[in-house]
Amino acid sequence: MKTRLKWFITILTIALALLALWQVQHVASQVRQSETEKVRLWANAIGQRARLVDATQQFFQQATLDEHRKMEMYTNILQSFNDPDLTTDLQFSLAYVNYIVDSSHTPIIITTARDSMITVPQELKGQKLEGPLLDEFSQNPPFNYRIWGMPMTLYYKESQYYTQLRQVLDGFMRSFMSDITNNSIFVPVIIVDSTRTHVLAQGNIDSAAIANPAHLLTRLEKMADANTPIEITLPDNHQAFVYYETTPLLKSLRWAPIFYLFIAFVLLLISYYLFRTARSAEQNRIWVGLAKETAHQLGTPLSSLMAWTQYLRDKEFTPEYASEVEKDIHRLETITHRFSKIGSTPELKDENVRDATLAAVSYLQSRAPRRVKFDVTFPEGEEFVAPLNGYLFQWVIENLCKNAIDAMDGEGNIGIVASQDARKIYIDISDTGRGMTPAIQKKIFQSGFTTKTRGWGLGLPLARRIINQYHRGRLYLKYSVPGQGSVFRIVLRK
């Protein structure tokens, strides 16, 4: 039973360890797939954002060109006033010129000299075109022209709408690389150019760790071994590569199987130690029990021999006395044979089960209390022959009957009923004693367990070992009812 339990715990521990390993690997695989998918989606978002930046830049380039063309058209119309043959209505021309300026919302300043502004936005009137104001309106090349011989210079800056949009774009561009590296998936990332030597940005990585080109190359190689780099397109169609690592969570999950294997190994060691300790304790109990049982078995015939010696000292010798002494000597011989067979494989030979049983009962009957009655029943006309070791088998019968006498407190009936079929012989030993509770029934075959005041808990374990292991049969408690008695069954193979 304990061997089976040991193997069951070992197999269960290994199974749980393998299940835990599989679960950790499964979780790690799912986390890895999730991280890879997030990085790919994130890299795709970078590409989409880069295309948005390109489109925005192209828009502003075209807007700047349109404003330049409008200002050029504006100056051309103004210079057309120099033509003396101008037939166009002057008011219409001026209205058209004002429309161009107003529709583009482009602030302009027209001067004849640096300190003489003839056309300025309403909010700039009274100021001189110098210093920061000149720098502000010199962001685009000015137009120089003449009207009626007077030199004119037109300064302009981009539309207020374009200025606001450009400020948004500039902030967008400034945060572009920072945003894509400080991502929300917390994956260590390095973005390098197409040559893979210049770091464009990094995220979740200490910049000092990749400042050295050799260290950068080593880090990139490790990242490439872990995950395939992702190629992306940055603004101005610049190609770049995204290198990324696994998160600390996934790294820790990779060590989890080793941790679980260590735990399983420790549990196996503890289980082995506990079973070894329990087995050692059980063996110690058996040896102690054997020693006590030996003393007990030898005590009865020795006491009898000592009594006969004392009695015969002053008596004449008679055959009856010799017969009694002979019985005790035979008992000592039987005990010697019994203990010599324990621990070794006894020799079995076909014997009459009825004769062996009656021999054990006959010995007990002469020594049991008079109020204990024995009833041995073997069906008439049937032969009960099985491979036996008579000394050990009689020991089993004696132990079961002695337990029955103790359970009945020295008064009651012990019944031994035999039956058989084609392959097995069944011997039921019943008593009319106290019976046993279910809790006690589970422990009666454990070495060292006893309900007796002076018991050693060895009789039933030895009896079961003799029947189950040496005779390849079975000894078990058939049933027991508290207050009514118990029935043990011996099963022998023919």
pLDDT digits (tens, 9 = 90+) for 119-150: 667 777 777 778 888 888 888 888 888 877 78
Question: Whole-structure pTM over 0.85, yes or no?
Answer: no
pLDDT at 66: 81
Mean pLDDT of 432-453: 84
Using the predicted structure, report yes or no on whether residue 476 has a pLDDT greater than 90: yes
Mean pLDDT of 174-184: 56
Q: In the chain, what percentage of residues exceed pLDDT 70?
A: 64
CA 439 to chain CA mean position, Å: 37
- 249 pLDDT band (50/70/90 cuts)? low
Using the predicted structure, report yes or no on whether residue 186 has a pLDDT greater than 80: no
Q: Can you tell me the distance from the alpha carbon of 63 to that of 56, in angstroms, rounded to the nearest whole number?
A: 10
pLDDT at 350: 92
Task: Return the structure tokens found at 272.
Answer: 């082995």
Residue with tokens 């009514």: 484
pLDDT digits (tens, 9 = 90+) for 252-267: 666 666 776 777 778 7
pLDDT digits (tens, 9 = 90+) for 142-178: 888 887 778 888 888 877 777 777 777 666 666 655 5
Residues 296, 339 contacting (CB under 8 angstroms): no
- 184 pLDDT band (50/70/90 cuts)? very low
pLDDT at 393: 92
- 93 pLDDT band (50/70/90 cuts)? low
In 3D, which of 96, 88, 162, 155 has the Cα closest to residue 128? 155
Using the predicted structure, report yes or no on whether residue 469 has a pLDDT greater than 60: yes
User: Any bridge partners for residue 390, and if so which?
Assistant: none
pLDDT at 348: 87
pLDDT at 190: 84
pLDDT digits (tens, 9 = 90+) for 292-323: 566 566 656 666 666 666 666 666 656 666 66
Select the highest-mean-pLDDT range: 39-43, 176-180, 481-485: 481-485
pLDDT at 209: 82
Residue with tokens 């041995």: 376
Ranking 72-81, 231-240, 331-340 by mean pLDDT, the lowest is 331-340
More confident residue, 219 or 110: 219
Ranking 185-189, 351-355, 423-427 by mean pLDDT, the lowest is 185-189
Kindly report the number of other CB atoms within 10 A of residue 330's CB atom.
12
